[in-house]
Amino acid sequence: MAKATKKQALGRGLSALLKDPENDIQSVSDKNADQVIGNVVELDVDSIEVNPFQPRSNFNDETLKELASSIRELGIIQPITVRKLDFNKFQLVSGERRFRASKLVGLKTIPAYIRIANDQESLEMALVENIQRQDLDPIEIALSYQRLIDEIQVTQEKLSDRVGKKRSTITNYMRLLKLHPIIQTGMRDGFVTMGHGRALINIEKKKDQINIYEKVVSDGLSVRETERLVKTYKDAKSGTVSTKKQDVQKEVPNFISKGLDALKKRLSTQVDISTSQSGKGKIVIPFHSKEEFQRLRKLLTGD
């Protein structure tokens, strides 16, 4: 406990140093720079601005509130990283979720690692840092790779070394940007996975991509089923996409067919059933709003 108190006191001391106009540190060669740069400093939340280079654009409100609750109870476990812009003025490099959650809690200060970097270095740090995160969606990662290549002007080979990923992995992500924007949005919202997206990339015409995508979502097709549907499309000489469900779904056994209509009637909604050769299957019950989900839940659970 004594060590933690000493560390926090040190952070506050460095914070006071940064607020002294006579110690305005602008480069690593300035006086006292070694005490600040690379160290954890308690910074005023109001002195930090968000990073315009932040590749992440989606912040889930619910998970942000959960993080805020954790910070309220335990504090900031991992400091954010900022770069110094001007006297007592900083910009986020990484840790925007922690920064946002801290503001939700009402914290006045936040622990931060301080860096000195120009715009290009800041962009690269932010992009590389965020690519390593586990909670970015595939499109956010693809866009981050694209920005690094376009704005830092590196090849995929050099990018592979910088982010520690295989070139084939980078290529697979970037190919997702060839998908129709509606499909990209569907992937970001969780309607389809990266596996679905990689299958749909093989369809060149955007209109046909959308036709198949809509079928994948409405029928709840797996990645394997989507791959078969795409293969059927590519093998067809006419190049048209069939929208008949039987083209991608095996014949449903009689015992399922007899109960399907009753299930649809009971739930007053569309119900889709698919089966495999092993006899296993799944039931997909789509809903389009919170209210509709609550209605279905009550019907199914009696709650």
The answer to whether residue 240 is domain-embedded is no
Give the pLDDT confidence of 98-153 residue by residue, as tens digits.
Answer: 898 999 999 999 988 887 766 566 666 666 766 666 567 888 888 878 877 776 67
The answer to whether residue 295 is domain-embedded is yes
The pLDDT value recorded for residue 115 is: 77
The residue type of 150 is D
The pLDDT value recorded for residue 244 is: 46
The answer to whether residue 170 is domain-embedded is no
Domain count, the chain: 2
Q: Are 28 and 114 in contact (CB under 8 A)?
A: no
The answer to whether residue 123 is domain-embedded is no
For residues 289 and 11, which has the higher predicted lDDT (pLDDT)?
Answer: 289
Q: What confidence tier does 175 reach under pLDDT thresholds 50, 70, 90?
A: very high
User: Is residue 225 scored above 80 in pLDDT?
Assistant: yes
Structure tokens at 291: 């209210």
Give the domain extent around 7.
Answer: 2-117
**Averaged pLDDT score across all residues of the chain:** 75
Q: Got the DSSP string for 30-68? A: STTHHHHBTSEEEEEGGGEE--TT-------HHHHHHHH
For residues 241 and 206, which has the higher predicted lDDT (pLDDT)?
Answer: 206
The pLDDT value recorded for residue 48 is: 92
Q: Which residues pair with 42 in a beta bridge?
A: 111
Structure tokens at 221: 């097709």
Last residue of a domain, one of 117, 145, 170: 117
Give the pLDDT confidence of 78-99 residue by residue, as tens digits.
Answer: 788 888 887 778 888 778 888 9
Q: Got the DSSP string for 101-123? A: HHHHHT-SEEEEEEE---HHHHH
Give the pLDDT confidence of 260-283 residue by residue, as tens digits.
Answer: 777 777 777 777 777 666 667 778
- Mean of the pLDDT values across residues 7-29? 53
The residue type of 263 is L
The answer to whether residue 88 is domain-embedded is yes
The pLDDT value recorded for residue 242 is: 47
The pLDDT value recorded for residue 102 is: 92
The answer to whether residue 11 is domain-embedded is yes
Query: How many Å apart are CA 231 and CA 195, to the nearest integer?
Result: 15
Q: Which of 151, 130, 121, 115 lies closest to 57, judged by CA?
A: 130
The pLDDT value recorded for residue 38 is: 60
CATH number at residue 97: 3.90.1530.30
* Count of CB atoms situated within 10 Å of the CB of 116: 18
The residue type of 286 is P
Of 66, 96, 214, 292, catalytic: 96
Last residue of a domain, one of 117, 137, 167: 117
Q: Which of 51, 55, 53, 48 lies closest to 76, judged by CA?
A: 48
Residue 52 backbone dihedrals phi, psi, to 5 degrees: -65, -15
For residues 73 and 239, which has the higher predicted lDDT (pLDDT)?
Answer: 73
User: Is residue 257 scored above 90 in pLDDT?
Assistant: no
Does residue 121 carry a catalytic annotation? no
**Those residues with Cβ within 8 angstroms of residue 94's Cβ, 6 or more apart along the chain or in another chain:** 80, 81, 125, 126, 129, 130
Q: Are 287 and 296 in contact (CB under 8 A)?
A: yes
Q: What confidence tier does 176 reach under pLDDT thresholds 50, 70, 90?
A: very high
The answer to whether residue 189 is domain-embedded is no
The pLDDT value recorded for residue 16 is: 59
The pLDDT value recorded for residue 6 is: 38
Exposed/middle/buried for 175, CB within 10 Å: 0-12, 13-18, 19+?
middle
The pLDDT value recorded for residue 33 is: 55
Q: Which residues pair with 284 in a beta bridge?
A: 272
For residues 295 and 276, which has the higher predicted lDDT (pLDDT)?
Answer: 295
Query: How many Å apart are CA 42 and CA 76, to the nearest integer?
Result: 11
Best-predicted range by mean pLDDT among 98-102, 161-165, 252-256?
A: 98-102
First and final C-alpha spacing in the chain: 48
Q: Which residues pair with 84 in a beta bridge?
A: 90
Last residue of a domain, one of 75, 95, 117: 117
**Those residues with Cβ within 8 angstroms of residue 141's Cβ, 6 or more apart along the chain or in another chain:** 131, 173
The answer to whether residue 90 is domain-embedded is yes
